[in-house]
Amino acid sequence: MTDRQEKILGGLLAAAIGDSMGAVTEHASRRKLKKDYGWVDTFIEPHEALKAKGHQIGLVTDDFSVAYYSALPLIEHRQKVDRELAIEGLLRWNEQPLYAQCAGPTTITTINRLRGRPSPPSRGDLLLCDNSRVTNGGGMKSGMMGLFNPGDLDAAIDDTITLCGLTHDNTIALSAACAIAAATAKAFCPGVSYLDLIEAGIYGAQEGYARSLEHFRPVAASSISKRIALAAEIGLAHQDDLAAAMEEIADVIGCGLFAHESIPAAFGYIAAARGQVMDSLYMAINAGDDTDTVACMTGFITGAYCSSRDLSPRYLALIDEVNHFDLRDMALQIDAIAGNTPET
């Protein structure tokens, strides 16, 4: 594989690893995780609640799977995303019961509407600013748009708005999703540093917000770009103690479902880990709350930055076997569609 293909594979694989490892720790508090598991740095047996849902070691959840299925129509049609292909990918994903059972309320509402069975009106439908929809469901799939636009931050931002605006039609959720996409795209630029990834995330958040203002719903939430900067500042201050960095980021920034927590947290972990892929994933996995989503988003960025050469081949074999994927082939297909990597 070429260097770029290895980086695309790295983004895919690290996102899948983060999602699957993080599924076991999702929703738990840090105190409970530390008591039950110590420090999770490998695949472990899922707890009973997950087993009841059919989860097994190596199985991804809605986080990576929705990104994976969003990419399939693009690969089959050999083109970049448009609204029709975004709809096709979402509906195909919804036909996979093991993944679709994890769908969040925002995504479920969109799928029901697309299938002609709209949900009963809710109070949120009557609000101009439905702040409950400022979630990270766009961010968990937007890293894929960074892989389809290696080195081209602006194209990654535009494609993210097309892909994610379908389900997460508000300015802050899209701002957050664009931060992940832009940082992932930046990982392909020559001579890039982990600090450049953070700057790209801030740029993506600012541009994503500005470009979505005219066509998407306003919401009341804190600035994604400013919270990325704050999270990165915390991470940089604790680079010599990843556990302390994780605790401080989780306490100050948060790592829950809302986009203004989980997306900035991912950049804090990247800063603390100096962009190293597995260290950044371990922090996201052990921080508690929405661990699988944060680890998935982090993995898209640091996996592309470090490339698949920094990831265990055993993990690739496990993810492929359990989920019936072929991530190496997907990386080759994405590379064939992606444009030339800019030299800056």
Residue list for the binding site:
61-63, 290, 292-293
**Token pair in block for residue 3:** 């260097």
Kindly list the distances between the CA atom of residue 301 and the CA atoms of 104, 225, 227, 234, in Å, as whole numbers in the listed order: 23, 16, 18, 19
**In this structure, what are the phi and psi dihedrals at residue 343, rounded to the nearest 5 degrees?**
-90, 5
Q: Tell me if 236 sits within 8 A of 214, measured CB to CB.
A: no
Residue 241, SS3 per DSSP: coil
Ranges of H-type helices in 221-258: 224-237, 242-252
Which one-letter DSSP state was computed for residue 308?
G
CA distance 166 to 82: 10
Q: How far apart are the first and last CA of the chain?
A: 23
Estimate the crossing angle of helix 194-212 against helix 153-164, to 10 degrees.
Answer: 50
Side-chain half-sphere CA neighbours of 198 within 13 A: 26
For residue 228, give the nearest of 290, 279, 297 by alpha carbon: 297
Give the integer Cα–Cα distance in Å for 52 and 122.
30
Q: Quickly list DSSP for 267-280.
A: HHHHHHTTT-HHHH
Write the DSSP assignment of 96-138 as a string of letters.
Answer: -HHHHTT--HHHHHHHHHHTT-PPPP-GGGG-SS-GGG-BTTT
> How far apart (Å, rounded) are the C-alpha atoms in residues 196 and 193?
5
Count the residues in the chain.
344
Q: Which residues are annotated as a binding site for Mg(2+)?
A: 61-63, 290, 292-293
